Amino acid sequence: MHTDPFGTADLAAATLSAWRESPTRLAEDVAAEDDLASVGYRDRLFVELVTNAADAARLGGVDGEVAIWSDADGLHIANTGAPLTEAGVRSLLALRVSAKQPDDTGGVVGRFGVGFSATAAVAHTVEIRSTSGTICFDRARAAAAVADAGIVGVARVPLLRLAWPGEGVPRAGFATEIVLGLAGGLDPQAILDAAEAQAPDLLLALTALRLITVEDTAFEIDRTELVNDELSSGSRARRLTVTVTSRGDRRSRAFTEIEHGPSRWLRADDGRPVSAGSDAPVADVLWAPTPTDIELSLPCRLIARLPLTHDRRHVRPDADIAAAAAGYVDVLRLAEPVDGVALVPRAHRARGGDDARLIDAVLHELRRTAWLPGIAGAPVVPDRASVLIGLGPDLAEVLGELFTDLVHPDLSLAHQLPVLESLDVTRIGLASLAERLTGVERDPAWWGRLYAALAPLVSTALDAEELAALPIPRSDGRMNIGARGLFTAHAVQTPLRWIRTVAAEADHPLLERLGVQRLSITDALADPALRMLVEEAADLVEDGAGEEVDATGLAEEVLALLGADSEAVVPEWLSRLPLPADDGDLRSADELLLVDSPLAAVLVEDHPFGLLDGDVAERHGVHVLRRLGVGWSFAVIVDDLPTGPDHDLPDEEQWWETLPDAPERLCAIRDLDLVAPDRWAQALTLIVEDEQAARALDDREGYTAWWLRHFAEVDDLLLGEYRAPSDHSLVGVLDPLVHPHADALAPALAALPPESATEASLLLARLGDRGRSISPGVTRAIYSAVVEVCRSGRIDWSEIDAPDAVRVASGTAVPTDGHRVPVVLDDPWWAQAVDPVTLVIGPDSPEGATLLADILDLPQVSEEFTAEPVGAGEYTTADDTAAVLFTAETGRPVPGEVRVYDDLRMALSRKGGGASSEVRVRWWVDSRGVTYLSRRR
């Protein structure tokens, strides 16, 4: 016999009596139960039973455990905690009445209240086995009881209004076990699957629970308090870890929970929505603490204590859902910067009025609370913050010490802008940043780091234009607002007083994109402002006012430039730059010599140069100082497109007069007139071995080679009286220069053709020198060269001195006034007949021969001799074999009449007396143009 610890018999009798007295009451109870089961608590079976289990655990003061399984008896749900009570039984049997009250149940949610009606939707029998007793609900048994009570006309009875005592006991280890006899057609596995899906969410929502087991899958939660000084007053943080164990497989998911007042905010540490089973975002609902039907779009789950309607699906009209926003900001504080901004709710995504009101409240709190990661790491208040789109870590590091209101670089991206603007963060551009930087005082290196960090943000001309007012430090210590008028010289560390340059440590390619002009060392040295400074300083020194010149400043700047670029072009006027001499005075650079310079060793003793200060020489080195014009070797003057002899070179005007036109470029060694006469051999070596000086020597027509030929002496002879050893055109005529670099000095030595009447006279005189051995070939070349230069007009032949003797074809020198006067060959056929000891051979042309005869003051052969053929010969034409062969051999055409001889002989006689003689010849042309040929034998 069953015991009845909860008095179910009396309760059933009272209910049956009420139904009997009022059949309408029975119909109302049926309708009410159906309404709760199919509408109010539809699809909430597991939620409601687990909620009751959580309440039991809280009331029992234990960590709640729930188990659900199925067998032949039906579906089982067991829980730990407080057992079934008589008050609980009464509430189960009374629709819309719960035995628990918020004021005396320690925050329980819904133990054995109206939510239990969800069982009526799936079961035809319900057995509640508890350690305090067991009761049973049975729809068929209830129908029989109604009939036994004499109540007629009843089509359906409620399941949960009549209960009977039972004998079952809960599973060991549990306080209560509910057994559902499922209605026909229901699949218990579907209910179990739904339970598995809901278990993690319910563990997160119901803090009294620790473990839910569905069949052989266990869901367990661990709650750990977190300590964080950044939390708002009244907020608590926890780490929740839900672990799922099934058939040896174990997986966990962690969550951060912020509790503040009536609200608990949950965020999954993996960034997925709390209730998502995948990475895809899903809609969530308000939990209070079980899920309601109020859709929310916030990225974090809200579990709030809010007054709900009886079905716990909606908040009551008088509920202030905005109050639940408290604590949301702390969720963002504990997130990484990017994750935190991703958690900012979007107003346009609101899924209803409650969601919209909650989002507005959250945004209001977020805008006015310091949580947004700032540039330096410290949180900033969004509505007082600024964002610079594109701000990178390097730029943040530079600006962090200045502008703490800037948003962290991880958030300063274009796609974050809509979220930041929803928080009232102010967007600033490059122009605003430039304006903010005005007045900032930092060293140039800091500005250089700033420009390097800014560079990635400047990709278009519009970006560069926005930075038009960007401060830029100058090398003189001042600041320039914007790039206009600034120059950059990458290799120069020294400030330049005549040009506004960017401080070297601040220099960066970005500045050129902003308008700073790249300045080459050549440009800096050629700047008119520098020339003015140099000339002013040089004039002061020359006027005896050297004390007014900044001897170290300007010179050091110029020398620094020269040291920075060994290839830079140095203007000639820069050599006037005053430098300190060893005696303390200032002198122009080109008036100073370096100590131990080789130039000093070849100059006259009373040369006008001073010695450079030794400290200056040590600081800058020989190469830099030489390029400026300080003497080491010979100084070289370079002038492109010179207009006149105004370079202060010795004998420059005389050289200029030798030129047919002004040269395109002047490259000349200066101070050649200061070389000691007995040191020219050493001086020539110095010239050849100096690269710059050697280039000035290369041009034979140039000033340097000209001056050396006419004024430099070696062994009492001018260089112009020597030939280069490799010049065979003057062998025997001029002596070779004996010098280690004689061939390199060739432009400064004599060569053909002669360039003056004096040189021509010397060559002719040397040809007539009996003491010299000169080949006929050299002789003819010299005579021809003299004639050619006279015919070109470069030399007036009348200014050439006629020699006393000439070199004849035999190679000997013959006096011009002897008894056998030499003659100049004018027509080539005479060379077959005239004795070589008398014949002077020069140019091939008759005109050249005539001019040579005038120069040498000698007669031509045709003027001194006559010749007649011996015999009549055979008359023929140019078509004759002999004529054709002659033309083929000599290249000479045979015009006009031709006479051919077997043995051509000419009767030769000299005018003015003397016996004639016969001479065998191969060919001849007489004064009438008749060609005489000897037939080949």
Say how far apart CA 533 and CA 576 lie, in whole Å: 10
Say how far apart CA 242 and CA 227 lie, in whole Å: 20
- Asked whether residue 419 carries a pLDDT value surpassing 70, the answer given is yes
Phi/psi for 586 (5° steps) reads: -100, 140
What is the predicted pLDDT for the residue at 551? Answer: 64
Sign of CA dihedral 533, 538, 543, 548: positive
- Asked whether residue 62 carries a pLDDT value surpassing 90, the answer given is yes
- Asked whether residue 279 carries a pLDDT value surpassing 90, the answer given is no
Which residue type occupies 496? L
What is the predicted pLDDT for the residue at 105? Answer: 46
- Asked whether residue 491 carries a pLDDT value surpassing 80, the answer given is no
Q: What is the mean pLDDT of the chain?
A: 91
Nearest Cα residue to 712 out of 697, 692, 734, 695: 697
- Asked whether residue 135 carries a pLDDT value surpassing 80, the answer given is yes
- Asked whether residue 8 carries a pLDDT value surpassing 80, the answer given is yes
Angle formed by the axes of helices 553-564 and 528-542, nearest 10°: 130
- The mean per-residue pLDDT over the stretch 866-883 comes to 91
Burial class (CB in 10 A: 0-12, 13-18, 19+), 211: middle
8-205 maps to which CATH number?
3.30.565
- The mean per-residue pLDDT over the stretch 343-370 comes to 94
- The mean per-residue pLDDT over the stretch 927-935 comes to 92
DSSP code at position 36: I
- Asked whether residue 276 carries a pLDDT value surpassing 50, the answer given is no
Say how far apart CA 327 and CA 264 lie, in whole Å: 8
Tens of pLDDT along 620-648? 999 999 899 899 999 888 888 999 999 99
Tens of pLDDT along 591-604? 999 988 999 999 99
Tens of pLDDT along 889-920? 988 999 889 999 999 999 999 887 666 889 99
Nearest Cα residue to 627 out of 661, 581, 577, 676: 577
Every domain of the chain and the residues it spans = 8-205, 218-369, 429-519, 523-632, 640-863, 870-934
Share of the chain above pLDDT 70, in %: 95
Tens of pLDDT along 744-780? 999 999 999 999 999 999 999 999 999 999 999 999 9
- Asked whether residue 804 carries a pLDDT value surpassing 70, the answer given is yes
Q: How confident is the model at residue 362 (pLDDT cuts 50, 70, 90)?
A: very high
Enumerate the β-bridge partners of residue 126. Answer: 137, 180
Share of the chain above pLDDT 90, in %: 76
Say how far apart CA 207 and CA 851 lie, in whole Å: 131
- Asked whether residue 284 carries a pLDDT value surpassing 60, the answer given is yes
Q: Specify whether the CB–CB gap between 524 and 552 falls below 8 A.
A: no
What is the predicted pLDDT for the residue at 277? Answer: 38
DSSP element (H, E) containing 821: none
Tens of pLDDT along 94-124? 865 554 554 444 556 654 456 788 888 899 9
Q: How confident is the model at residue 796 (pLDDT cuts 50, 70, 90)?
A: very high
Enumerate the β-bridge partners of residue 933. Answer: 900, 923
- The mean per-residue pLDDT over the stretch 452-471 comes to 95
Token representation of residue 530 = 């520098």
Q: Tokens 């009845």 appear where?
A: 4
- The mean per-residue pLDDT over the stretch 778-805 comes to 96
What is the predicted pLDDT for the residue at 109? Answer: 61
